């Protein structure tokens, strides 16, 4: 079996950026991706440098793949389900084939905890978002429903007041289970934000565009956007298999050069404990990981 110098798991902005850099270092690299991450959803990125009209995340991926292929990087649609560490070598087992590599970059992203109402995937990136930094601006003077059950969600809700006053907050969790302190409930009242400790029964909408949110008490709330503040979970399982150090929330701990606690394993993008959660920072972390991989692969006579 051929031995890669690096297998990159994940073909989102972090993995693609790493691939471009490693391809241009003349390294023998493959990107293995199953196209299920954040950047596989419909979403128009309007804060990424160099695209005054914005760019669709899937189009950015398509271009990134072409750019990496130009420098000889291989691509494989597959899901890695197991990593085994040998002496100075890794075996990665995918659903379709296995890969041998000297190094591994984990750029596996996170899974968002979106509410799973009927056809929910159609709404992601069209009228359902999660990130105030990315999409707060789109909410200017719009009717929005914010979903969450934590103090952090309540705090983000207050910050959305800089974009719109037309906000309703819904916990979407069994009554009494939300963990929102009195302080925030008082602030909701003072800011005139209706607070409903109820679950969502149904969403009415058309082609991914929400029209109303219906609660389990029968209340219909008109809405143009849903903001999901139920959180996300990093895709940490592969890291855990080879004892890479994770923080308490299961994000991969990395050095400022994206090295993990295990030699030969690097991580980049949303899955790391640097909490980038932006395309621009994922691309940055991918480029840093690639430079660390490249340096570590130099022969002894090429290093200080």
Ligand X SMILES: Cc1cc2nc3c(=O)[nH]c(=O)nc-3n(C[C@H](O)[C@H](O)[C@H](O)COP(=O)(O)OP(=O)(O)OC[C@H]3O[C@@H](n4cnc5c(N)ncnc54)[C@H](O)[C@@H]3O)c2cc1C
Q: Which residues bind ligand X (CB under 6 A)?
A: 9-15, 32-41, 43, 45-48, 57, 79-80, 107-109, 112, 124-125, 129, 131, 134-135, 235, 238, 269-270, 277-280, 282
According to DSSP, residue 251 is labeled P
Quote the least distance from Cβ 2 to ligand X, whole Å: 19
Nearer to ligand X by C-beta: 64 or 264?
64
| Cβ 142 to ligand X shortest distance, Å | 16
Q: Give the Cα separation of 158 and 151 in Å (integer).
A: 11
DSSP run (H or E) holding 55 = strand 55-56
In the bound state with ligand X, the residue whose beta carbon lies nearer, of 102 and 284, is: 284
- 290: Cβ–Cβ under 8 A, 6 or more apart, which residues? 6, 17, 18, 19, 20, 21, 22, 25, 105
- Closest approach of ligand X to the CB of residue 16, in Å: 7
Choice between 124 and 292, CB closer to ligand X: 124
Distance CA 238, CA 249 (A): 15
Q: Which residue, 11 or 264, has its beta carbon nearer to ligand X?
A: 11
Question: Which CB sits closer to ligand X, 7 or 168?
Answer: 7
Give the nearer residue to ligand X in terms of CB position, either 193 or 267: 267
In the bound complex, what is the minimum distance in angstroms from residue 85's beta carbon to ligand X?
16
Q: How far apart are CA 235 and CA 79, in angstroms?
A: 12
DSSP 8-state assignment for residue 49: T
Helices (H) and strands (E) in the chain, counts: 8, 21
CB 269 within 8 A of CB 12: yes
Closest CA to 10 of 70, 68, 56, 49: 68
Least separation in angstroms between residue 43's CB and ligand X is 4
Taking the complex as a whole, how short is the minimal distance between the CB of residue 81 and ligand X, in angstroms?
A: 7
């Amino acid at each position: 079996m051929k031995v890669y110098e690096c297998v990159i798991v994940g073909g989102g902005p972090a993995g693609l950026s790493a691939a471009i850099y490693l391809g241009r270092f003349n390294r023998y690299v493959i990107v293995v991706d199953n196209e299920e991450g954040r950047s596989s959803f419909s979403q128009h990125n309007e804060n990424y440098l160099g695209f005054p009209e914005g760019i669709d995340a899937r189009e950015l991926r398509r271009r990134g793949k072409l750019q990496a292929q130009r420098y000889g990087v291989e691509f494989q649609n597959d899901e890695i389900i197991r990593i085994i560490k040998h002496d100075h070598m890794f075996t990665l087992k995918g659903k379709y084939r296995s890969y041998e590599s000297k190094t591994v970059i984990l750029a596996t992203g996170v899974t968002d905890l979106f509410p799973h109402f009927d056809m929910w995937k159609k709404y992601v990136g069209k009228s359902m978002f999660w990130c105030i930094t990315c999409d707060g601006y789109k909410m200017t003077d719009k009717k929005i429903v914010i979903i969450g059950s934590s103090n952090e969600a309540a705090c983000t809700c207050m910050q959305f007041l800089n974009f719109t006053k037309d906000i309703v907050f819904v916990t979407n969790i069994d009554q009494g289970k939300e963990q929102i302190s009195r302080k925030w409930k008082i602030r909701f009242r003072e800011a005139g934000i209706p607070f409903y400790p109820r679950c969502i029964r149904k969403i009415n909408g058309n082609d991914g565009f929400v029209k109303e949110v219906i609660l389990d008490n029968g209340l219909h709330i008109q809405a143009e956007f849903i903001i999901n503040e139920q959180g996300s979970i990093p895709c940490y399982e592969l890291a855990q298999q080879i004892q890479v150090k994770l923080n308490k929330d299961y994000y991969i701990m990395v050095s400022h050069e994206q090295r993990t606690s295990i030699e030969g394993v690097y991580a980049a993008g949303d899955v790391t404990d640097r909490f980038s959660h932006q395309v621009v920072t994922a691309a940055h972390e991918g480029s840093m990981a690639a430079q660390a991989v490249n340096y570590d692969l130099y022969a002894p006579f090429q290093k200080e």
